Structure 1
Amino acid sequence: MTEKSAPLFIKRYASRRLYNTETSDYVTLEDISGFIRDGREVQIVDLKTGDDLTRQYLLQIIAEHESRGDNVLPTDVLTDLVRSYMGGGASVVPQFLQTSFDMLREGQSKVIENVSAMNPMTKMPGFEMMQAQQEAFMKAMTGGITPGWSASEEPEPETKEEAEDLATIKKQLAELQAKLSKMS
């Protein structure tokens, strides 16, 4: 894996204009979205107060994409997110989302590594496991309804390690779903 570089530092002026300190020019939310798509981390800070505004702007970018019809988050997931903010006490949702996206990111990295080595995807070591992880993630995020996939079509793990990993993931998802159900 490559080392993470320092995030792209963006200042927000009192006029709400966003200034890219790396290129010394003003940027838009669409520019920031492009930086992120290109793999850059960003940090947006209010020049006057020093407050970190990164989360606020990332949420704004997501909201704008969703409003334009780039629907990534199903309504049920958005509803559960709102519930997690409204419920008292600590929520398991942030930890669940972080773990799920870490798994997705790790799986994508493995795919990219193997594709760059010119291996056919279907013969990649761990391909079925990664596919099972992504399907389990989608199943969990959509409340068990994943178009075009059913439990009877679940790929069989090739190794004992893959079977143990899959069992662990299933157990964790079941525990998280149980916790989420109790919170509702």
Structure 2
Amino acid sequence: MTSKKISGAKPAQRIIKKYPNRRLYDTDTSTYITLTEVKQLVMDSQAFVVRDAKTNEDLTRSILLQIILEEEAGGAPMFSEAALANIIRFYGHAMQGFMGSYIEKNVQAFTDLQSQVAEQTKNFTPEMWAQFMNLQNPLQGMMGNYAEQSKNMFEKMQEQVQKNTEQMLGAFGIKK
């Protein structure tokens, strides 16, 4: 028995089923969808989960990584080869857990900054935009603050890891 929507209410989280033939089925709309449409769900901040149709395994991360791969392969990549190589180097490293959290917090801070700028400039006329782009000091100042906060957060994380390592080694009677 399938559940029907009652009084137009949508489920809190859309369920996308991935079939062995690699097709994606949106259970909310009862249609097959493409990765481009899944990307649009992300862009629209829609909550969803991708599940394997047979095993019910959560495949959401895999699908999101696939979208990132397609975006990186097309036109204007966000990550340089050096950045990707550095990210790969953190896998298996003691800082792996910290780095994931660090990147997540920085992306969120940048998103918040972008939202603030968008909110403050939503009523700009073309002339105001031209003036704003010529000034750029407020934006550079905000970006400078963001970069400084990011650097400070990373330095604090490094200090904490060093302290924890020294304490752990001390507990085993090993001096650095």
Normalised by the length of structure 2, the TM-score is 0.66
SS of 2:16's partner is strand
> Contact 1:92 / 1:179 at 8 angstroms: preserved in 2?
no
What amino acid maps onto 1:130 in structure 2? M
The one of 48, 53, 60 aligned to 1:54 = 60
Which residue does the alignment assign to 1:139? none
Gaps of 5+ in 1: 137-165
State the Cα RMSD in Å.
3.2
Which residue does the alignment assign to 2:24? 18
User: Larger radius of gyration, structure 1 or 2?
Assistant: 2
Aligned residues: 144
Which residue does the alignment assign to 2:117? 111
Gaps of 5+ in 2: 1-10, 162-176
> Contact 1:33 / 1:61 at 8 angstroms: preserved in 2?
yes
Cα distance in 2 for residues equivalent to 1:177 and 1:63:
30
Which residue does the alignment assign to 1:149? none
> Contact 2:52 / 2:59 at 8 angstroms: preserved in 1?
yes
Change (3 A) 1:56 1:169: closer
> Contact 1:12 / 1:18 at 8 angstroms: preserved in 2?
yes
The one of 131, 135, 144 aligned to 1:132 = 144
The one of 92, 108, 113 aligned to 2:98 = 92
Which residue does the alignment assign to 2:155? 174
Which residue does the alignment assign to 1:151? none
1:6 aligns with 2:12: yes
The one of 83, 88, 96 aligned to 2:89 = 83
Cα distance in 1 for residues equivalent to 2:142 and 2:110:
8
> Contact 1:103 / 1:133 at 8 angstroms: preserved in 2?
no
Which residue does the alignment assign to 1:153? none
Normalised by the length of structure 1, the TM-score is 0.63
1:179 Cα offset (Å):
8.7
